[in-house]
Structure formats: C-alpha cells, structure tokens
Chains A and B, each alone.
Chain A
Amino acid sequence: MLLRPILLSLCCALPICATPALADFEQTVSDHILPGYADFAAATQALSDEAAQNCKAEGLKPGFNAAYDAWLGVQHLRFGPAEADGHSVAIAFWPDPKGSGAKAQRGLLLGDPLQLTPAHFPDQSVAARGLTGLERLLYPAEPLPADPCDLIRATTLDLARIAHQINEAWLNGYAKTVLTAGAAGNTTYQTRPEVRQVMFTQIVAGLEFDKDQRLARPLGTFDKPRPERAEAVASGRSLRNVLLSLQALRAMVVTLTPDAPQTLAGFDRAITQAKSLNDPVFAGVATPGGRLKVEILQQAIAALDITVLAELGPELDVGIGFNAADGD
C-alpha cells in the first residue's frame, strides 16, 4: 500500500501512463477528474471569449457543443466543488419538468439589463442559466421575444466563471483533500475506502441517470411515449449525451481498477449499442420499432448497472452506503 503513490508518480513520468498496472483513486484524480475539469474550464472560457467577440448563434454552436461535450466528461462527478453552491445544477438544469428554465429566461430577456451584469447574473435562477439555458438561445424553437445577445454573453461568461471555480477548487485544495484520505486532520475523508466508495457511488448514480432520466423520460410508457422530454433535443444531442456519459464513466472505472473485466465488457456493449442507434434525439420512441431500439440501449445500461454493483463494488471493496441503499 505504501508503495502505491511512489509507483504512480513514477508511472506518470513515463509514457506508459495510459495503461496503468496499479489503478486506484489517485489515478482517478490525476487522469480523469483533473483533466476533465481543466477541459471543461478551457472549453467554456473559449466559448465565452467567442461570444464576447460575436454573439451570433450560428457561429457559437461549435463552441457550445465543445463545452457541452466537455461537461459530459465530468458531469457524473456529483461531489466536492461541483456540488458546492449548487454549481452542477447551474451548469445543466435538466430535467426541468415544470419548464421553469424557459419561464425564468423569458424574464431575463425582457427584464432589467442590470440582471445580466456579472455582479447580478450569478444570482438569477439556476433554471435559466448554464448549458440548457444557452441551448434555448442558440437553438430557439420559436423566435425569441428580444435580442438574446446580452443574455448569451452573460450566460457564457457565467458558465466560464463556474467552470473556472470548480477547476481551481480541485487544483487548490480538493484534490489534496481526496489524495490525503485517511491522514490525520483530514475530516472530509477519514479513510481511503471512503474515497473509493464516493467514486463508486458516482459511477452507479451516473448510470442510473442515463437509464432513468436520459432514456426513461423520452420513453415514457408504451401508450404514451414522450420524445419531447428527451434531453437537449433542440441541439440534437440527446443520444450523444448518453454516449459521452457512458464513455466518461468507463474511463473513470479504468482509472479505479485494472480488474473489472465484466464491468468493462458491459460498458462496451452499451457503448456499441449507443453508437449503432441511429436516432439522435430519440424521436423513434414514438414508433414501436424505434422504441424497441431505445429500450435495448436502456436494458444494456440496466444490465451494466447490475454488473457494476456485483463486480466493481466488491473489487473496490465498497458498496452503496448502508443508509443510502435502504432508507426509511
């Protein structure tokens, strides 16, 4: 156990870093979490810089998609700085069953421009902000009630600010908090298994979000499919978000352990399924044949979830928390 950090630091000085012999959460931090947040911070900064130059929707779409892609690389990490101050909710507010984002955003479009200044925009409704808010401005379903330019700039600036904050918080403190788990004085992680359990929980919750939200919402019921409830329909990203999420979760597993073959095989099956599904916004759920294909993907993720609980949990020597698994 003592050798592990030393070997890891040697390993990372060499080009073999990508094929680890000794995976553990140190590697999850160095190879998955930190690069993921750095990418997200860079992508949102680039988008904000671009919007400052020119806020035309067409020109910003590639940058928007790059930022959204980067978010999918870390979106499943629902602990630490991303959860502080409700950041993750402000970055991507979905699902939004009451449509509160569109309502709040309309208020911003038509309201006092002062709300859009950097001093006040962070206090606006989380439902109106972030990637989901920006998507409504760049891919409007119907003409917007006012020129969105200032709101686009405010939203991209706010996204970049939040991404920067999360990245800095990891770099300047939280990474150390994780890496010193079990050390005297570490009150966040009293033991190393606590970190493994948190990491494991992110993977299970990430899969369940894909299965129970990203896929189950548009599936609705057989009698009442709800394709309009899919995520990021306007930008055509619904399936892409599932695929990128699965790929990010798989990458996280690889950093945690070299020894979860059934889990990785399960990820590969689900990823293959997602790649072969020719239905970018799950519009097919409205037809029996199209629905079946989305259900097959959902079943692949459900099976993977079971494999993760049965194989990855024991491999990491953790499970879902005693109380979290079975409350009352």
Chain B
Amino acid sequence: MATRRAFLAGLASGLSAASLPRVSWAEVGSPAFLAAGKLGDDFVLHGLSAAGDSLFEIGLPARGHAAAAHPSQALAVAFARRPGTFALVLDCLTGVTRHRLTPPEGRQFNGHGAFSMDGSLLMTSEVVAEGSAGRIGLWETAAFTRIAEWDSHGIGPHDIRRLADGRIVVANGGIETDPGDRTKLNVDVMRPNLSLLSPEGALLDQVELEDALHQNSIRHLALLGDGVAFAMQWEGDPFEPVAQLGLWVPGAAPVLCPPPDDQAYAMKGYAGSIAVSSASDLIALTSAPAGVVMLFNGAGQWLATDQRADVSGAAAVGDDLRLTDGQGGVWGYGHAGLMPLSRNATLWDNHLIALA
C-alpha cells in the first residue's frame, strides 16, 4: 500500500505541477469562510470575507451540504448532500471543477470532509451504502486519487475534524439510512459514538453516550482546547429534554451541557451547526427548525438563546462568531446577540466553513 500510495502521489503531483498553476487563497481575496447556498433555482458556493461580503461565487450542479477548504491552495471541495454520489474539487479563482470525486462502488459520501494539515490528504466521511457502516475515504490531493479507506468505527459518520496534533475525531451519528433516500432505518437501536483515530487511521479512543441517550445523534464537531465540542440531534420523543451540546477531551468521558430547564425545548432537540471561538471562550449552536441560536461559554454553560428564522451556518473567525441564515443573512454573534453584517441574494445552506 505504501509503495503504491507514494507512486500515485508522485505521479499525480508531477502531473499537476506541469499542468495546473497553484493559486493561493490570497489570490481570491483571502476569504474567511466558504458557504454553499441557493440562488434562484441554482446552487452555488461562495467565498465570504469576515465581514460577510461575497468574494467569489461558483456554480454547483446540485445542492451542496458542507465544504472543505485546502489549507493553502484556493481549492474547495464541495460535498453533495446525503446520499452523496459526488464531491467536486473547485478552483476558487476560475470556478473550474478541477476534479470530480466519486466514491467507490457501494460507498456514499456523507456530507463532510477535512484536509490534513499540509493539504496533501483529503479525508471524507462515507458510509457503505448497505447498512451505513462508516468509512473515512482517503484521497491524495495532487490528482485527488483515492488511495485508501479506514473504518470510522461506527454507523453513519457525519462530521470529521483533525486535531492540531494530526489525530482525527469522527462523529459517528449512529443512524443507518436507506441507500436510495434518507429514510432512517435503525432509530430504535441506534448508538452514536465519538471516535478518535490516529493520523494513520488506528482507533485510539471511543466514547458513547449513556443508554438513555442512545437516540441523540452526534453529528457535528468543532475543535475546543485539546478536544471537541459536539452537536447532537435528538431522534427520541421530542418532549424529552436532552442536551444538544457536549464536550469531549479524548481520554475522559464526554460531558453533556444542557441549558436551563426553561430552555430545554428551545432548540427542538436539533443542533444543526456548532462553532467555537476559543479566543472569546464562546460556543454557538444553531437550530434552523426552531429558528434559534444558543450561546454557551467554553465550559459548556448556557449564556443566551437568540431568535433568528432559519439560522443554520456557524463558524468562528478569530475572536468572533459568524452565523448564516436561509434568508441570505450573515451575522456576527456573541455576548451582544446578533449583529447583521450582510445580506446576499443567495440563501445560505446548512453550514459555514471557516478557512484554517
């Protein structure tokens, strides 16, 4: 495997160096974020400044879910929504699709991906179509060739994040879905987990929630200190008050962070996106179905709930948090509540992705 991998990488990088110029993010305006959205009947991917201004806009062939940004080159990988049959590697200067990634036979993309720190590797969250067993697909990024895959050690992996030391946290959401649509097949027996993988894909640690919370699907992640903050979507009785936010430092048990009891239903059991601003010690958690965003401190203590229709995307830029909504709004967010920054004709989709 190692030989073949090195061979492929060498071959591919040789090709790309000869044929394609490397464009840096600075050359496309130094965007702070990527965001997918809907413009009229079309789907697009934007690069956004920290102030929420669109720096570029690239057409997508279908509705996107999340994106991954190459750490140095102006390349964005746009993932299709589940069940994902493709991902596109987009040149953010020209808008040209450099590569179209197709999962191997019997695999489906699951909406998220992450680059290695040096950008040489792309990791994609995937499922085996039949049964939703989780996989992490590995792609070298010179020619975006598939080189290997790892077990994600759970069902229905969704978000994946790379820790600063190169280890990888996977949110295995636990939900088995019908390969042809998004019908959930195992809600009664689902069992999500958080898995920590070594940079080589070995399972280093894994935690589950207590039995009573086995229907709390762990779906989205944000880096926090030496671990992650995680966001959950409750598949059980909507009137059981359960936490949507948890914190996990590998080696320890996960800590759940419920809001006060009068806020227990404010999110409608659903957290869509999570963002952490380490500099200001804040966590934002959005719920589009409820039209609210919750603010917590870095220890997971609830600070506020704010209303905004269809708010969904969340990301951090330095000291600040940014949110996007389905009306085209980009917002600053923090102790002072929501502050409007910009409004675009594009209706922003689920996620706002910060560039590293």
Contacts and interface: CB of A to CB of B under 8 A. Distances in A.
Interface of A: 79-80, 83, 85-87, 89-90, 94-98, 125-127, 187-188, 190-191, 194, 197-198, 201, 213, 321-324, 327-328
Interface stretch (B7-15, B140-148, B335-343): B335-343
Q: Most chain-A Cβ atoms within 10 A of its Cβ — which of B240, B264, B291, B312? A: B291
A97 B326 contact: no
Contact of B347 (A125, A126, A201, A322): A322
B314 to A, nearest CB: 12
Nearest to B233: A327
B210 interface: no
Interface string B280-301: 0000000011011000000000
Nearest to B271: A327
B327 A198 contact: no
Interface in B319-353: 325-327, 329, 338-340, 343, 347-350
27 contacts: A79-B307, A83-B266, A83-B292, A86-B261, A89-B265, A97-B237, A126-B262, A187-B340, A190-B343, A194-B327, A201-B309, A321-B288, A321-B327, A322-B347, A322-B348, A323-B310, A323-B312, A323-B348, A324-B289, A324-B309, A324-B310, A327-B288, A328-B81, A328-B111, A328-B219, A328-B272, A328-B350
Contacts of B292: 83
Chain A to chain B: the 6 pairs with minimum beta-carbon distance, closest first: A86-B262, A321-B310, A322-B326, A323-B288, A323-B312, A95-B239
A325 to B, nearest CB: 8
Contact of A86 (B111, B266, B291, B327): B266
Contacts of B262: 85-87, 89-90, 126
B266 A324 contact: no
B214 interface: no
Nearest to B37: A322
A321 B309 contact: yes
B260 interface: yes
Interface string B192-234: 0000000000000000000000000001000000000000010
B153 interface: no
A80 B305 CA distance: 12
Nearest to A95: B239
B38 interface: yes
Nearest to B338: A187
A126 B111 CA distance: 38
A85 B306 CA distance: 10
Contacts of A321: 288, 291, 309-310, 326-327
Q: How large is the interface on B (under 10, 10 to 19, 20 to 34, 35 or more residues)?
A: 35 or more
Interface of B: 38, 65, 81-82, 111, 158, 219, 233, 237, 239-240, 260-266, 270, 272, 288-289, 291-292, 305, 307, 309-312, 325-327, 329, 338-340, 343, 347-350
Contacts of B338: 187
Given A197-B309, A328-B81, A126 B261 contact: yes
Nearest to B337: A187
B82 A328 contact: yes
A96 B239 contact: yes
A149 to B, nearest CB: 25
A89 B310 contact: no
Contacts of B339: 187
Q: Most chain-A Cβ atoms within 10 A of its Cβ — which of B111, B309, B339, B347? A: B309
Q: Most chain-A Cβ atoms within 10 A of its Cβ — which of B81, B261, B305, B340? A: B261
A179 B270 CA distance: 30
Nearest to A188: B307
Contacts of B263: 86
A323 B314 CA distance: 13
A75 to B, nearest CB: 14
B329 A190 contact: yes
A197 to B, nearest CB: 6
Contacts of B219: 328
Nearest to A94: B239
Contacts of B158: 328
A190 B309 contact: no
Given A322-B347, A324-B326, A98 B240 contact: yes
A79 B311 CA distance: 14
Nearest to A122: B262
A120 B82 CA distance: 49
Given A83-B266, A198-B291, A322-B348, 6 more contacts: A86-B266, A87-B262, A198-B309, A321-B327, A324-B288, A327-B312
